[in-house]
Structure 1
Amino acid sequence: MSAGLSVAVAHRQGTFRLQAAFEAPGGVTALFGHSGSGKTTLVDIIGGLVRPQAGRVELAGEVLVDTQTGRFVPPHRRRVGYVFQESRLFPHLSVRSNLLFGRRLVRGTDGIGFDDVVGLLGIGSLLGRRPNGLSGGERQRVAIGRALLARPRLLLMDEPLAALDEARKAEILPFLEHLRDAAQVPIIYVSHALSEVSRLADRIVVLEAGEIVAAGPVAEVTARLDVLPLRHEREAGAVLAARVEAHDPVFALTRLATEAGPLFVPLLPRPVGAGVRIQVAARDVTLSLRRPEGTSALNVLEGRIAEIGALDRADPTAEVRLACGGASLIVRLTRRSLAEMGLAPGLAVFAAVKSVALLDARAPPDAGLR
């Protein structure tokens, strides 16, 4: 029996219309889009908080919604965990009691255990405390733990970091990565922050005005120039899988192997052969028609212009997709530079990478080499 999620629904609320169909086979699938794109409505339909006017939702081989047959499984019978923007913990209960409330919601003893959840989320020291005495990041970790202890077949996370400041986000992101890697529960992660999606998700579903405009692996979708909600985001760029190839302790550098070519970053505390996920932001790549000489740029990759994004006379910038080896890089430059360099599809170029972001909690967050 498949553990995946299949969604194909249509729903109207006032003047807003949602029409969406996608598959989430496992891992972390991100629903990405700007405010009002339909992310929360779609996740509420999956969780059973909204009954769609038309369509079907199936989870792990069980039909949860089928408007043609009239089937609608109520939320409490779906075994779907839901983590909201606010933790929604019971203020009069201790952390331990809040966690155990999740376990009381279901029968049976299978699934992840209490001690495992506490260890996974690093909340052992919080068990005797009340929610009002916790930081925002701590409350969200407890809310995630409560949802996990309900033995969910699917975990829905609706912008769980949106209400947190940058310090609290940095605190909880490593735990979300650990959850992704260790809990083995499929996750639907709702966010309008591309940096979170690039770091956490395996697949991305991009929504705009109630419709899905792109869906697929994060590396493939974020490299597309035709997906407008992704373009011109500050964090927009290429997400690459990398492997630690060698260390150079003399110069405090690590060499990473990627499909786009080798990249040097500050020395990482990771063994040779270890995998990491990296991002090369479009704003951190510069192009030249000849290999740069006499420059401090350490990372220079050979490539060809694969695609030039649509140009807007009101926008001074343009985006270009490079084919570098077996991967794509995105470059953001001015339309004037585009014209003066005579850039066109098929032209060979050299890309100087000024900074590489490491999307890995076990490594320094920014491995910039400028």
Structure 2
Amino acid sequence: MLRVDVFKQLGEFSVDVAFTSEGRVTGLFGSSGAGKTSLVSMIAGLVQPDRGIIAVDSDVLYDGSARIHVPPHRRRIGYVFQDARLFPHLSVAQNLDYGRRMNRLTRDPAEETRITEMLDIGHLLDRRPGGLSGGERQRVALGRALLSQPRLLLLDEPMGALDEERKAEILPYLKRLRDAGDVPMVFVSHDADEMRQLATQVVMLKRGRVAAFGGTEILPRIIPAA
């Protein structure tokens, strides 16, 4: 369960959002400037709210009234950005191992094999990020996040920088990740079709506020051209 009830003033813009989600994939949907990235940054601990509470299951990550603010590296949250953010000087195998090493986790070869097979990246292990396609880089970024053993995975527009062909390439892997049900996810997108295919619950944001909350039926319908 993910519980978020936060307020943050950001210049002339403010985020004032409250929801509780038990979905496998909680979608944050809205147009550019709706507050989606600001909200996931607060969940990750990269931005501290002015007040409120953030909790994953029974663990409180932020509580303004109790002065609790768990730092990002202790939240056990995986974060996949739009641009993958792999280390160009490291091989794919070394990039995958980075999260485990930073969290001082014991190597689990069976889990490494399971994740590389699930994401179909085992044949890429000796390559550098510069030689990968956009879809391959995002799959490696997903693997790196998963191998850090997160309790929650944040996906901030993971297909936003990809063309339609690469989106079609990575979407099945995101569905596979959702259906495996190992790690709950927060999926950020302004694309209603992507959201409809992946999310199990949707928080629709508008100008930093919750405009609607529910299943994918709350998403706007695309009216085909005549």
* TM-score range normalised by the length of the shorter chain: over 0.9
| One-letter code aligned to 2:3 | S
The match for 2:20 is 23
The match for 2:163 is 165
- Bigger relative contact order, structure 1 or 2, given CA contacts below 8 A and separation 6+? 2
Cα distance in structure 2, aligned partners of 1:34 and 1:113: 37
- 5+ unaligned residues in a row in structure 1: which ranges? 223-229, 231-235, 237-280, 285-332, 334-370
Cα distance in structure 1, aligned partners of 2:136 and 2:119: 9
Secondary structure at 1:177's aligned position in 2? Answer: helix
Q: Is 1:283 matched with 2:212?
A: no
Q: Is 1:121 matched with 2:62?
A: no
Q: Is 1:8 matched with 2:17?
A: no
| One-letter code aligned to 1:15 | E
Question: Where do 1:43-122 residues align within 5 Å?
Answer: 43-109=40-106, 113-122=111-120
| Larger proportion of strand | 1
Per-residue deviation, 1:184:
1.6
RMSD: 1.7
Deviations 1:169-205 (A, max 9, x none): 1110011111111152000000000010001110110
Per-residue deviation, 1:60:
2.1
- Which of 134, 153, 156 in structure 1 is aligned with 2:154? 156
Total equivalences in the alignment: 225
Per-residue deviation, 1:23:
1.2
Per-residue deviation, 1:7:
0.3
Cα distance in structure 1, aligned partners of 2:141 and 2:73: 17
Q: Percent identity?
A: 52
Secondary structure at 2:224's aligned position in 1? Answer: helix
Secondary structure at 1:171's aligned position in 2? Answer: helix
Q: Is 1:194 matched with 2:192?
A: yes
Per-residue deviation, 1:109:
4.7
* Runs of 4+ off more than 2 Å: 105-112, 281-284
Deviations 1:82-125 (A, max 9, x none): 00011110111100010011221224459881001101100011
Deviations 1:275-297 (A, max 9, x none): xxxxxx5438xxxxxxxxxxxxx
Deviations 1:245-291 (A, max 9, x none): xxxxxxxxxxxxxxxxxxxxxxxxxxxxxxxxxxxx5438xxxxxxx
| One-letter code aligned to 1:44 | S
Cα distance in structure 2, aligned partners of 1:84 and 1:183: 21
Secondary structure at 1:283's aligned position in 2? Answer: coil
Secondary structure at 2:99's aligned position in 1? Answer: helix
- Which of 126, 135, 139 in structure 1 is aligned with 2:137? 139
Cα distance in structure 2, aligned partners of 1:63 and 1:107: 22
Cα distance in structure 2, aligned partners of 1:150 and 1:35: 30
| One-letter code aligned to 1:29 | T
Q: TM-score scaled by structure 2?
A: 0.95
Contact between 2:24 and 2:181, CA under 8 Å: does it hold in 1? no
Contact between 2:157 and 2:187, CA under 8 Å: does it hold in 1? yes
Cα distance in structure 1, aligned partners of 2:179 and 2:88: 30
| One-letter code aligned to 2:203 | V
Secondary structure at 1:173's aligned position in 2? Answer: helix
- 5+ unaligned residues in a row in structure 2: which ranges? none
Max Rg structure:
1
Cα distance in structure 2, aligned partners of 1:138 and 1:210: 33
| Larger proportion of helix | 2
| One-letter code aligned to 2:43 | I
